[in-house]
Every structure is written in C-alpha cells, then in structure tokens.
Amino acid sequence: MTGSTSVPQEARDERAPMVVAVDGPAGSGKSSVCRESARRLGFGYLDTGAAYRAITWFAIDSGCDLDDATAVAALLPSFVELYSISQSPDERWVRVGETDVSEFIRDTAISGDVWRVSRVPAAREALTALFRRTMAATTSPGIIAEGRDITTVVAADAPARILMTADEAVRIARRTGEKAGEAVAAVAASVSARDARDAKVTNFTEAAYGVTVLDTTTLDFEQSVEEFLRIVASATPGPHQTTAPSLAAAPSAVRHDNTKESR
C-alpha cells in the first residue's frame, strides 16, 4: 500500500466529521454494534466489506478472471465511479450503477470469492482511497467505519480506533444464529477459512499500537454497545462526550494496547 494513511488534510479541520475506525473478525459483533452505536450517536455508518463484495460481484458479472490481477485492476476505475452505499445505520443498500446488489453480494458464491479480489494490491489501494473520500465527505457529525484494515490502514489516525473480538466458539455460535439452517460445522469451517484467507492480507486479530480492544465474549448486545460508546466518548472530549452513556468502566471487556508494535 502506498500513500498516506490519513484522511485528506483539507477534510481534517474543526468541522471535519469524527471518524471511529473498527476492525475485527466475523462474529465479534462488529456490524450490529457499529450500526446501533452510529444510530445512537447520530453518526453515519460505513460497511467497507460491502465494497469488496460488490467489486467481486462486478468482476464476475463482467466476465473477469478473478485470478488475473491486471484484469481486476482494469475494472477499478469504472467500479469506483459506479459504486454507492447507504451511510444510514437504518438503511442497507449497495448499488453498482443502477443495479441494487445488496442481496447479490451476500450470496455464498460471492463470499467465497471475495478474497481473490481483496488480495489484489490495486484493488485495496483504490478502495482505501474511496473509503477515505467517503468518510471525509459525510454530512453526519461523525462516521463509524468497520472492516478489517480500518484501524491500521484506512483510518490509522482516527481519534477512536477499536478492535472488536470474541472467543472463536462464541463467534461461531453467533454466526450460526445469523445463518438459519446451516450446520454449526459448516459455519465454523466458513468462519475459519475466511479469517485465514483475510489474515494473509491484513492483521485484523491483533491490536496495533493505540487501538482499544473490545472483547465481547461475555457481553450481550446491549453491554457491547455501551462499552463501544464508552470508548468513543473517552476518545472524544467535547461535544460528542455527552452522547455516550455515562457508566462505570468495565476493564474486563476493554483493553488499551499502548505497547510498541511488533509488526
């Protein structure tokens, strides 16, 4: 990856939206907690993974060989021009041009092929730039962006950076609940395979320097949201401080990683 890892300088002034960067593996509660937290804060919500799914759909629909990095790269300018996504936590639509691909990109076939596109350096660079522009241009007072390299690449200088995690057994149980009709073994294999593939591209299981770890293993949904909002509030003195609940700290769930990076 080349270039700056920060939001463009012209967007970072006193009127710039607050960025909350969130990473984590499947089943950590990342998407649901981020959506609800954005709703309560009045922030926008950006699902960066949807863009990788959408470019995968676009490539397949265009007849592109996903193993041909040059061919994938050639599609990027058109895709970036056509791609749009809702930033409202209450809406879930993704479009490529006039086509609503919200359901298409959740198909298991797309899920199984996303890694083939996300491993292409040109794709990651183009989408990273797209995410930064999207965050800087939001009309909300802040935006919560979640994915797998948001705290380390896309928004490495965000005032609030959170790594959400949970024990593997808990994550698999949650994913099984989301995917009615699928056997636990099948979901476990899918989660493990996806995490293993993505780990070859970016480290989303270990907190980088300055990133706060939110372990949701023993937390229910409401507790997870409260912890998330507390982290955001502690990172944001001023107007956003009052938007998060004023609750006692729960050190067993939250850890601040301020040790030097080993990577």
Contact 71, 65 (CB under 8 A): yes
In our burial notation (b when 16+ CB lie closer than 10 A, e otherwise), range 60-82 reads beeebebeebeebeebbeebeee
Element (H, E) at 203: none
27 labelled binding-site residue: yes
> How far apart, in Å, are the Cα atoms of 145 and each of 89, 153, 173?
11, 12, 25
Q: 181 among the known binding-site residues?
A: no
Strands ordered across the beta sheet of 83-85 = 83-85, 94-96, 99-100
24 assigned ligand-binding residue: yes
User: How is residue 142 written in tokens?
Assistant: 């802040």
The first and second tokens of residue 58, run together, are 């676009």
Unique residue bearing structure tokens 């959506």: 35
* Joined tokens for residue 109: 């076939």
The answer to whether the CB of 154 falls within 8 A of the CB of 22 is: no
Q: In this structure, which amino acid lies at residue 96?
A: V
**DSSP one-letter code for 163:** E
Q: How far apart are CA 96 and CA 150, in angstroms?
A: 23
Residue 32 assigned as binding residue: yes
Dig out the tokens for 119 from the structure: 């491993």
44 has binding-site annotation: no
> According to the annotation, is 28 in a ligand binding site?
yes
- Residues annotated in a binding site: 24-32
- Could you list the residues known to form a binding site for ATP, using ranges: 24-32
